[in-house]
Amino acid sequence: RVSVRHASVTSPQPLNADTQPAYETGFQTASAAAGAKANVRLTAEYTGRERPDAIQVRLEGKLGQAFVVLLTGQEPIAAQAFDSLDGTRECSFAPTPNADGLRAQLVSLSVSGPEIIAETEVAADPSRALQIDLTPGERLLPGQRIALPFEVRSAAGRHDDSPAASNAASASLLALLTPALWSGPVEWAPGSPSVDSNTSTGSGAPMAASWGSAATEQRPATPQHPNVPPPLAVGGTLWATSRAATDKTLELTLPQTPGVYRLAALARDEQGTLTSKDILLDTRAGLRLLPDVPARCTLGDRFVIGMAVQNPHAVPVTVNLTVDPGAGLSIESLRVIDPPETFDTAPIEPLAREVVVPASGVAWLQARVEAVQAGQSDLRMSTIVRAVTAEAGIPASARNGPVQPQPGDAQDVSVPCAVSADSPPDNASRPLRIRRALLLLEKDGMPPDAESEDIGARRTSSSRWQRYVLPLGARLKPGQRILVRESFELARPATAMKWSQRIPPNCSLVAQPQSEPRALGVLEPRRADQLDFRARGITAGPHEHEYELVATRPGVCVLPMPEIWISGQRVDTAGEPEELRL
């Protein structure tokens, strides 16, 4: 290990915080002007692990006092000094545990201090090089479950008996799936040569991230770690896995959005040799399936779910759509609402419909669902393309090709829904009783609508948002706001309390409550289907807790009782009334 101070070399002394080097290694500090001025040529190559002089460095030119530094990443690991350079000189270094990412720097010593004259990467040892064989399927669709065969092997050949072949067999593979937002060379660091991160796909790779986006090149920010291969240093991760080289197969589910995705793979053997490869997965030929299913509901809930089929293509597509609600849900009716069904549109079967999705449009379906069995239920939405309609003025190139739908294309998507079995509580055995009331919220100066008057809503305040008590059995309309008020009394003080409330599937949380509800404690980061409040230092006596919901879909659903923890202990609760439905 060496440390450079001013124009002297101290030895032996490790590099640490107390021995600050007077120069910094890295591409950013390489001086092209100095190298040109000195007219020095520097080359380095790895000639073999078994030889004591495995790393050979060659210098050509004329220079005064100088030394060669060998680095891995930004860390110097060895150095050799020269009194002078006049002509050609060679030096060698012993092999290192990891020969990947090595660089050699030529540093000149002068009165003004050290100066980096030249820098080069150490050419990799060809006998240790690895190669990844990875090929995508011919035709891919959104949401498809695929198995991609891969092989990590020695670049010298598949069947040789060299150490590289055995190292390849023991290698591990890391794979990432990202959107293909760019194509072409990516710079590792400022001043370094560009590295083509798309060598496995060729120059004609699509650049659009999704169907219909502009095919413009979008360069990512330059990675800060030059030893990380570009495919792994840029882009957002959609999926990732790690596999042994002996597994031979990568299994993944493609995203539901049609588009172009990049699968990047990085292999590493036990000796630290790295190699990478990335391929493109094109799913632009498919449709987009969008089921709107609540994550949780209560046994007996009845509600409406929506399903959309989005067609990003320039031609209409006819599909057969089938819905399987799973064991916990039962579909009472299924109908197409846009485009409207005609008299000659007959159901294929009770839970299947033939739908014509307009060009660059969306078809909407609606199903009335009831939760009939407790447990996990996976609602499955499937489509099969029956016909692709040709329209006047649409060129043939827009109706055919690898990124266009074809009859027989099949897609599906599954959405989980947890059905809870909330039984009516036994009030006699519950220590904490909670009285719950529903209030309809209307803006100040606006009388309640006709339906509110019909259900007998009673005004309770004169604030900017008026509150009307809703009687049991009142029916709401989507878009109306509800304030839930819960009252309880603590027999003794509590150091901390957690109040967790599950939101019924026909309602949603109001992002910005307008009625200034009196919440118990602080609302934790929001979840889509649950509210979590935490409070500290709760006194004994009566308390009120309020939160605001908005009706979002037709249906009648149970408002579950909250789950409450007092001083870290879960407590039983009893509701008054016993069951509250929205």
Assess whether 247 and 162 both reside in one domain: yes
- Looking at residue 209, its pLDDT comes to 34
The pLDDT-based confidence of 380 (bands split at 50, 70, 90) is: very high
Q: What's the pLDDT tens digit per position in 217-255?
A: 333 333 343 444 444 444 578 888 888 888 889 999 999
Same domain, 145 and 278: yes
User: Model confidence at 4, in pLDDT bands (50, 70, 90)?
Assistant: very low
pLDDT winner (highest mean) among 51-65, 328-342, 352-366:
352-366
- Residue range 446-474: mean pLDDT, rounded: 63
Whether 512 maps to a domain, the answer reads yes
Tokens of 167: 């190292």
In whole angstroms, how far apart are CA 94 and each of 33, 41, 57, 74, 75? Answer: 31, 22, 12, 19, 16
Instruction: Please give the pLDDT value at position 185.
Output: 34
- The whole-angstrom separation of Cα 386 and Cα 356 is 10
Count how many domains the chain has: 4
Asked if 297 contacts 375 with a C-beta cutoff of 8 angstroms, the reply is no
Domain that holds residue 459: 427-576
Each residue of 492-518: pLDDT tens digit? 888 899 999 999 999 988 877 767 788
What per-residue confidence (pLDDT) applies to 199? 32
Please state the rounded mean pLDDT for residues 201-220. 31
Would residue 197 be called left, alpha or beta, if left means φ above 0 and alpha means ψ between -120 and 50 degrees?
A: alpha
Query: Which of 533 and 454 is assigned the larger pLDDT?
Result: 533
**What pLDDT was estimated at residue 5?**
43
Question: Is the distance from CB of 389 to CB of 315 less than 8 angstroms?
Answer: yes
Among residues 277, 281, 241, 266, the alpha carbon closest in space to that of 134 is found at 277
- pLDDT tops 60 at residue 471: yes
Residue 92 located in a structural domain:
yes
Residues 309 and 349 in one domain: yes
Indicate if 402 and 440 belong to the same structural domain.
no
Do 242 and 275 have their domain in common?
Answer: yes
Check residue 196 and give its pLDDT. 33
The 10s digit of each residue's pLDDT in 9-59 is 333 344 343 433 333 333 333 333 333 346 788 888 877 655 666 788 888
- Among 236, 261, 247, 233, residue whose Cα is nearest residue 173: 247
Shared domain for 350 and 261, answered yes or no, is no
- If phi > 0 it is left, if psi is from -120 to 50 it is alpha, else beta; for residue 200 that is alpha
Q: How far apart are CA 440 and CA 434, in angstroms?
A: 20
Q: Which of 393, 420, 447 is the last residue of a domain?
A: 420
Establish if 440 belongs to a structural domain: yes
Domain presence at residue 582: no
Q: Supply the pLDDT for residue 33.
A: 35
Identify the band that residue 449 occupies on the pLDDT scale cut at 50, 70 and 90.
low
Q: Does 170 map to a domain?
A: yes
Mean per-residue pLDDT of the chain: 75
132 and 268 co-located in one domain: yes
The answer to whether 152 and 245 have CB atoms below 8 angstroms apart is: yes
Least confident among 55-69, 177-191, 396-410, 549-563: 177-191
- pTM for the model: 0.64
Half-sphere exposure of 3 (CA within 13 A, CB side): 13
* 201 and 332 belong to one structural domain: no
For residue 343, what is the domain's CATH number? Answer: 2.60.40.10
Same domain, 133 and 277: yes
Top pLDDT among 100 and 118 is at: 118
pLDDT at 36: 38
Flag the least confident range among 165-174, 341-350, 384-393: 341-350
pLDDT tier for residue 97 given thresholds of 50, 70 and 90: low
pLDDT above 70: residue 420: yes
- Which has more confidence, 199 or 336? 336
Q: Are residues 235 and 302 in the same domain?
A: no
Domain boundary among 374, 405, 420: 420
Domain boundary among the residues 217, 247, 282 is at 282
Residue 482 has pLDDT above 70, yes or no: yes
- Integer-rounded Cα radius of gyration of the chain: 34
581, part of any domain: no
pLDDT given at position 350 = 76
| Token pair of 442 as six digits | 């209307």
> Is the residue at 516 inside a domain?
yes
Q: Are residues 402 and 302 in the same domain?
A: yes
**What pLDDT score does 12 carry?**
39
Same-domain pairing of 416 and 436: no
Q: Which amino acid is at 528?
A: A
Tell me the average pLDDT across 118-147: 83
Proportion of the chain above pLDDT 90, given as a percent? 26
What mean pLDDT is predicted for residues 192-210?
A: 31
**Nearest 10 degrees: Cα torsion 110, 114, 117, 119:** 150
CATH of the domain at 445: 2.60.40
Please state the rounded mean pLDDT for residues 521-538.
85
CA pair distance 477, 554, nearest whole angstrom? 7
Q: Is 350 inside a domain boundary?
A: yes
CA dihedral 181, 184, 185, 186 (to 10 degrees): 0
Task: State yes or no: cis peptide before 493, omega within 30 of 0.
Answer: no
Beta strands in 190-287 (DSSP E): 194-196, 239-244, 249-253, 260-268, 274-282
The better pLDDT of the pair 126, 93 is held by 93
